[in-house]
Chain A
Amino acid sequence: MNVTATPALPLGDDALILSHRLGEWAGRAPVLEEEVALANIALDLLGQARVLLSLAGDEDELAFLREERQFRNLQLVEQPNGDFAHTIARQLYFSTYQELLFEHLAAGESELAPLAAKAVKEVAYHRDHAHQWTLRLGDGTDESHARMQHALDALWRFTGELFEPVEGLEAAPWPTLHDTWTTRITSTLEQATLTVPEGPQRGGWAAGAGRQGLHTEPFGRLLAEMQHLHRSHPGATW
């Protein structure tokens, strides 16, 4: 498989894997409108993944024929959907990050600029969706508040990795992006009567490891489901 060394690969993997996770909600979401919303966000991410992975090689080969250690996505996006609060916490952390990074890339001249300029407008809706749900769950019932806080705390240790410089994008202002991200997350959580988690933003065993191809245990099962059909029926079309 020919793979070009480009930051489009890790960013494309983020979009692909989160798209797959969100797609797992189909048929299971709490209400029909949310089912449709999550599927639409997944579709936006899949569109991004297709453009980005095509900059790195053949999109289908990259998605369906790589082994776990060859994926460069953040560990955050591969985390299981959990309850609805976990999905929203993951969306809030990731879409806030993605919007900031794509705003930066859209202002540049790299091969990523056209996609970033296009996608940043879509991601603004993803972030707004996560923001509104965080407010509703955090400032809702005791049960929804407790679940949202638990989800935010549980995923916090995967957020440090977001600001490890991506290979090929070392020049991006990572510390500034991190500061702005923290400000935005803090603002949303305060409005939602939630508490910004205090623990470390990474586990000692896996600092920034998704970008190096080290993934968490649930990722293998995600890949098995995502790749099974393509590997069982090579070249199949419909």
Chain B
Amino acid sequence: MVTTTALEEELLALAGSVPDPELPVLTLAELGVVRGVQLTAPGRVEVQLTPTYTGCPAIEAMSADIERVLHDHGIPDVEVRTVLSPPWTTDAITAEGRRKLAEFGIAPPRPTGPAGGPVAVDLTIRCPHCGSTDTTLLSRFSSTACKALRRCESCREPFDHFKEL
């Protein structure tokens, strides 16, 4: 059992408060990508960060931002380590994170099914602009790997959907 000190809790909250570089409405904590912070020696911490997608180019900016925030908080030696296991899932996005995504014009991911199930593409996805459920898929891949491009048939606006992973 790994115990967490009050300082580690504080540093975890700080690391988690960093905005996502591509979706700045979300914090890294709301995205669910900061796995832990450990004080390994006085003035030295290790942060575990998990990528949304294996090739996510934002991971380097996230690491740099976490290092900067913790340096500013008086930690001279910060190592951000990328961990893959267990794999990140869109279920790790918090309820507050989902609300912010929708407010930002991105349809949040639906809860994922059991592992190994088929890729869900046909269930209703609500338009973040007008709330209509009459939306259609334009492309499985959109502005980033984690989003799909859809169009609302009611208000005719295209929108991004954070697709389930």
Which residues on A are within 8 Å of B, measured CB to CB?
Answer: 33-34, 36-37, 39-41, 43-48, 50-51, 103, 113-115, 117-119, 121-122, 124-125, 128-129, 132
Does B132 belong to the interface (CB within 8 Å)?
no
Contact B141 A40 (CB under 8 A): yes
Q: How far is the CB of A17 from chain B (nearest CB, A)?
A: 15
Which residues on B are within 8 Å of A, measured CB to CB?
Answer: 51, 53-57, 83-89, 116, 119, 121, 138-145, 149, 163, 165
Interface SS majority for chain B:
loop
- Which of A118, A121, A129 touches B140 (beta carbons < 8 Å)? A129
With A114-B85, A128-B119 already in contact, the answer to whether A36 and B54 are too (CB < 8 A) is no
Contact A51 B84 (CB under 8 A): yes
* Interface core residue of A34, A39, A40, A45 (most chain B CB under 10 Å): A40
Contacts of B89 in A (CB 8 A): 121
Residue ID in chain A nearest B59 by CB atoms: A47
Contacts of A48 in B (CB 8 A): 54-55
Contacts of A119 in B (CB 8 A): 54
C-alpha spacing A146/B83, complex, angstroms: 45
Q: How far is the CB of A46 from chain B (nearest CB, A)?
A: 5
Contact A122 B141 (CB under 8 A): no
Contact B51 A47 (CB under 8 A): yes
Contacts of B83 in A (CB 8 A): 114
Q: How far is the CB of A75 from chain B (nearest CB, A)?
A: 24
- Which of B54, B119, B145 touches A51 (beta carbons < 8 Å)? B54
C-alpha spacing A39/B141, complex, angstroms: 9
* Interface core residue of B84, B116, B142, B145 (most chain A CB under 10 Å): B145
Contacts of B163 in A (CB 8 A): 125
Contacts of A40 in B (CB 8 A): 141-142, 144-145
C-alpha spacing A36/B54, complex, angstroms: 17
Contact A124 B139 (CB under 8 A): no
Question: Given contacts A51-B54, A122-B145, A125-B140, could you give 9 more A-B pairs where the C-beta distance is less than 8 Å?
Answer: A33-B138, A37-B140, A41-B141, A43-B55, A47-B55, A103-B116, A118-B54, A122-B54, A125-B119
Q: How far is the CB of A87 from chain B (nearest CB, A)?
A: 14
With A46-B55, A47-B56, A50-B55 already in contact, the answer to whether A129 and B141 are too (CB < 8 A) is yes
C-alpha spacing A43/B141, complex, angstroms: 11
- Which of A33, A45, A103 touches B139 (beta carbons < 8 Å)? A33
Residue ID in chain B nearest A41 by CB atoms: B141
Q: How far is the CB of A16 from chain B (nearest CB, A)?
A: 11
C-alpha spacing A129/B137, complex, angstroms: 12
C-alpha spacing A120/B98, complex, angstroms: 24
C-alpha spacing A114/B163, complex, angstroms: 21
Contact B140 A122 (CB under 8 A): no
Contact B55 A34 (CB under 8 A): no
Contacts of A51 in B (CB 8 A): 54, 84
Instruction: Give 16 A-B contacts (CB < 8 Å), ordered by A residue.
Output: A36-B142, A37-B140, A39-B141, A40-B141, A43-B55, A44-B54, A47-B54, A47-B56, A51-B54, A114-B83, A114-B87, A118-B87, A121-B89, A128-B119, A129-B141, A132-B140
- Which of B85, B141, B144, B165 touches A113 (beta carbons < 8 Å)? B85
Contact A44 B119 (CB under 8 A): no
Contacts of A121 in B (CB 8 A): 87, 89, 165
Q: How far is the CB of B138 from chain A (nearest CB, A)?
A: 6
With A125-B119, A128-B121 already in contact, the answer to whether A36 and B55 are too (CB < 8 A) is no
Contact A37 B139 (CB under 8 A): yes
* Interface core residue of B85, B141, B144, B149 (most chain A CB under 10 Å): B141
Closest 5 CB pairs of A and B: A47-B55, A47-B54, A114-B85, A33-B139, A37-B141
Contact B54 A115 (CB under 8 A): yes
